[in-house]
Structure 1
Amino acid sequence: MKCDVVRDLLPSYADRLTSGESNREIDKHLKTCENCRQYYQEMTGEGPEILPKADVKDAALLAGMRKKRKRALLAAVIVILILAAGGLWTFIGYSVGSSKVLAEDVKLSYGRKEDTAYLEMEPRGGAFEFSSFTEKIQDSSGNIIGTRTRLKAQRFRKGWFVKGSMGWKNEIEGGDYICEWVLEFSDKTLTIRNGKLISEKDTTSLPQD
């Protein structure tokens, strides 16, 4: 069936007035003739009842794209849930915290640079709280020969997004001057003097306050 004949019959075809044999011929022609198929779609605003092979391939392609979008959306939802869970865990861990602070929960850096001793503490996976008290060190004659700062761990707050570090610097006044930090954790007491670790005492067997 030629294009001009099909186009003459399309109005009747659209109104379902053509015979069964004509319908079959028109359907067959619309499957293979893109111009007539487009003419029919513009005339009626719809496509033929039976999609041509090219349209079937396009439909399969669209279905594959929809599956990919669904997988991407699912992955995004999973990431959001993981982040939300991490945020909740951080909030709970930071709000409540633990009064048991172990020495291994903190990364220590200490040393001496010329006449200055330094101490830095960085928590591992959270933030911590310390109480501090500084006292003068005197010799047998009552002369002040240094300072001693006691740092007692109070609370450790865990969390993915929680960060907090502490640092101290003290000037060493003379060759015999003492700059000492005493770090009291739940399991150990560390003494650092003039940038060197001089004592590490296990306190796990001692009663806790």
Structure 2
Amino acid sequence: MKCDVVQDLLPSYADGLTSEESNREIEKHLKTCEKCSKYYREMTGEVPEILPKADVTDAALIVGMRKKRKKVLIAAAFAVIILAAALVWTFTGYSMGSRNVLSSDVKLSYGLKENGAYLELTPKGGELEFNGMTENIEDSSGNIIGTRTYLKALSFRKGLFVKGSMGWENEMAGDAYICEWVLEFSDKTITIRNGELISEENISSSEQN
């Protein structure tokens, strides 16, 4: 059979309307004619059963490889999206600090060590910025009996790679010497004296604003 005759018969062949003799001739032609075989595949949307076994296996293998490749590409796309989101969160958190710094944003460590007192602040998942000043504590006669350091929390910047603690140590000249830190957060003021917590005063909403 010629190609134009076979292509005219293929719709009837696909619907099972051709005779057995015609079927044999059509199938014989499709095995040797790539053009008509391709036309048949496009018309039916599937690999015909009359193709040689090796061709059917190769076609199934190609389909399987395409599906596997698609899954790999989807997984890679998700990984890229997650990584990009993490990087954006990290660097955005570093550059945009919140001025509403709560006492719960930090972990306080304090106490006595050798001849002095110490204070350490460790931010929880971010970086703290403080402003401070130190003044002398005098008795009624004007004698210096200690120091008082005021520390005000200015901002808290969240991020994965901005963690870091800060600490202070003051030497105490005698048992009567006073070493005091006053930490001001948005929600409360904390006073630590000679390595001990002295007071925690809550700040009202109106004062915060």
Q: Is the 8 A contact 2:135 2:149 kept in 1?
A: yes
Distance across 1 between alignment mates of 2:115 and 2:171: 6
Give the match for residue 189 of structure 1.
189
Q: Give the alignment of 1:194-205 within 5 angstroms.
A: 194-205=194-205
Q: CA deviation at 1:186?
A: 0.3
User: 5+ residue gaps in structure 1?
Assistant: 1-19, 28-49
Distance across 2 between alignment mates of 1:69 and 1:86: 26
Q: Give the alignment of 1:1-209 within 5 angstroms.
A: 52-53=52-53, 56-57=56-57, 59-61=59-61, 63-208=63-208
Distance across 2 between alignment mates of 1:194 and 1:53: 89
TM-score by length of 2: 0.68
Q: Is the 8 A contact 2:187 2:208 kept in 1?
A: no
State the SS of the aligned residue for 1:207: helix
Distance across 2 between alignment mates of 1:59 and 1:116: 80
Q: Give per-residue Cα distances to partners, 1:104-150, cap 9 Å, x unaligned.
A: 11111112222232111111122121001011111122111111111
Distance across 2 between alignment mates of 1:51 and 1:194: 91
Q: Is the 8 A contact 1:110 1:118 kept in 2?
A: yes
**Structure 1 residues 115 and 56 mapped into 2: Cα distance closer, same or farther (>3 Å)?**
farther
Q: Is the 8 A contact 1:117 1:171 kept in 2?
A: yes
Distance across 1 between alignment mates of 2:161 and 2:59: 46
State the SS of the aligned residue for 1:148: strand
Q: Is the 8 A contact 1:94 1:157 kept in 2?
A: yes
Q: Give per-residue Cα distances to partners, 1:169-191, cap 9 Å, x unaligned.
A: 11222111111111100001001
User: 5+ residue gaps in structure 2?
Assistant: 1-23, 32-49
Q: Is the 8 A contact 2:192 2:199 kept in 1?
A: yes
Q: CA deviation at 1:59?
A: 4.9
Distance across 2 between alignment mates of 1:57 and 1:172: 86
Structure 1 residue runs of 4 or more that deviate by more than 3 Å after TM superposition: 50-66
Q: Is the 8 A contact 1:186 1:204 kept in 2?
A: no
**Structure 1 residues 57 and 112 mapped into 2: Cα distance closer, same or farther (>3 Å)?**
farther
**Structure 1 residues 56 and 118 mapped into 2: Cα distance closer, same or farther (>3 Å)?**
farther
Amino-acid identity (%): 67
Give the match for residue 45 of structure 1.
none
Q: Is the 8 A contact 2:111 2:119 kept in 1?
A: yes
Amino acid in the other structure paired with 1:83? L
Q: CA deviation at 1:206?
A: 5.0
Amino acid in the other structure paired with 1:197? L
